Structure 1
Amino acid sequence: MIFVITVLAACNQNKIQTGDIVFRSVINTELSEAINEVTQTAKKSNYTHIGVCEVLNNIVYVYHSDSDTGVVKETIEEFYTSEKNDYLVDLFRVKNISNLQIQQALQKAKTLVGQPYNFTYILEDEGYYCSEYIYEVFKNDSVFTLEPMTFKNPKTKTFHQGWIKHYNNLGIPIPEAKLGCNPNGMANNNRLEFMGAIK
């Protein structure tokens, strides 16, 4: 069974091109649960993490901003492999973008490697959270837009307990309605084409 999954993943990876965007499914942490519950969209998606791909010598790398490491470059296998969690990863491609624009976006991605993770989710603060990083990478191409953020459960209209705890720990107010972005919203962008599951 493991062999079959490995072969399938390898075949799917052959579809990946430089500039493609990968979305990772919800992981088993309080913060990821909080992100997912308040960012669900009308379309079916439950993404809590996002990265951009580069293919070099048939090896797929992902640039992304992780809460444990900040902005990093990893292989696609490292992106979807964890001792604690089993991830599902979907592949999307940016439409109506030139090769030059993709190369410029990747250059931007590389210059930001080493930046810390932005735990406040406030754009003006130091570092980058995962979707903020991808927004910044493609900012010159106007691929993604910013929208007022909400940290409230859409069903109860009250702040999710995970966010209350998170911002209490930071000692700052919840930045409700400040501009930002999230993986679920970005996955539903009309500029992206769904290419299939990677894992």
Structure 2
Amino acid sequence: MEKIIVNCILLCVALIGYAQQPTYSQSIYTAEQLQEGDLLFYASATDNPITDVTNGFQGTLISHVSIVVKNQGKPYILEATHKGVIFQPIDSTFNRLNRRKEHIYVGRIHSKWDIKTSIDKAKRYIGKPYDFYFEPNDSAIYCSELVQLCYQDKQGHLLFEPIPMSFHDKTGKITNYWKEYYHKVGKEVPEGAPGSNPGDLSRNQKVKIIGMIL
């Protein structure tokens, strides 16, 4: 009897956890259907150092996120890449998609928020260097940090609070890749430091995955 009760409890917990996951529609979107402020999540075809230590929605290998911004009615992309924070036509995203064989999922904010202020804040980062070491409170910025710092509600509160940075695998150990990565520049791995990652954003309750771009 006790075993049955325990199993029922575990099943309920699992169902609650599943219900809390962002819903995902398999709708196909074109550039023209995107709205300002939509988030584009880039899913790699294979594991990489980022997806080894982070989790995307429903197990997808999310390694990058960018922001959709309308410019004279046309969709542009605002994102932090290794070239820094850049603003460019969305065609660049499709070129990347074809070159790297990535999938791009469309995330739409599923919460009341201040779109104009958020996008204006993000634009002010254009030209800033990329943060190769994912450190908080510096002049450089990485992809999900751009979203985390800029998206806010009507009261000026952040939509996405910082989370502890993750450089560890499923066993809880920091991977050799990240140990060597930081060792080469004489830095400590910022495990647990406040930050963000694109996979976590894709799983946030304030983001609804509404489809994908093919």
Same fold (TM > 0.5): yes
CA RMSD of aligned residues (A): 2.2
Residues 1:13 and 2:50 are matched in the alignment: no
Amino acid at match of 2:74: I
Residue number in structure 2 paired with 1:197: 212
Residue-pair matches, total = 184
Counterpart for residue 3 of structure 1: none
- Whether contact under 8 Å (1:80, 1:88) holds in the other structure is no
Render the CA deviation track for 1:77-126: whole Å, top value 9, x for unaligned.
Answer: 2124238522211101112335xx11111111111100001111111232
Partner of 1:116: 129
Is the contact between residue 43 and residue 63 of structure 2 (CA under 8 Å) also seen in structure 1? yes
Further displaced range: 140-149 or 178-187? 140-149
The correspondence of residues 170-185 of structure 1 with structure 2, limited to 5 A, is: 170-185=185-200
In 1: Cα distance, 2:145 partner to 2:71 partner: 25
* 1:109–1:26 CA distance, 2 compared to 1 (3 A): same
Cα distance per residue 1:151-180 (max 9 Å; x no partner): 11113x322122122112221010111111
Conserved in 2, the CA contact under 8 Å of 1:51 and 1:65? yes
Alpha-carbon distance, 1:141 to partner: 4.2
2:41 paired residue number: 23
Residue number in structure 2 paired with 1:105 = 118
1:54–1:46: structure 2 CA closer, same or farther, 3 Å change rule? same
Q: Is the partner of 2:181 in helix, strand or coil?
A: helix
Match of 2:174 among 138, 156, 159: 159
The answer on whether the counterparts of 2:149 and 2:158 sit within 8 Å (CA) in structure 1 is no
Aligned twin of 2:160: 144
Return the index of the structure with the highest Cα Rg: 2
Moved over 6 A (4+): none
> Is residue 60 from structure 1 mapped to residue 75 from structure 2 by the alignment?
yes
Residue 27 of structure 1 and its aligned partner are, at CA, apart by 6.7
Tell me if structure 2 keeps the 8 A contact 1:118–1:129: yes
SS in 2 for 1:19: coil
Q: Which amino acid aligns with 1:135?
A: Q
TM-score by length of 1: 0.83
CA–CA distance in 1 between the matches of 2:118 and 2:32? 21
**Residue number in structure 1 paired with 2:85:** 71
SS in structure 2 of the partner of residue 48 of structure 1: strand
The answer as to whether partners of 2:84 and 2:130 remain within 8 angstroms in 1 is yes
SS at match of 1:89: strand
Residues 39 and 108 of structure 2 are in contact (CA less than 8 Å); yes or no, is this contact kept in structure 1?
A: yes
Identity of aligned residues (%): 22
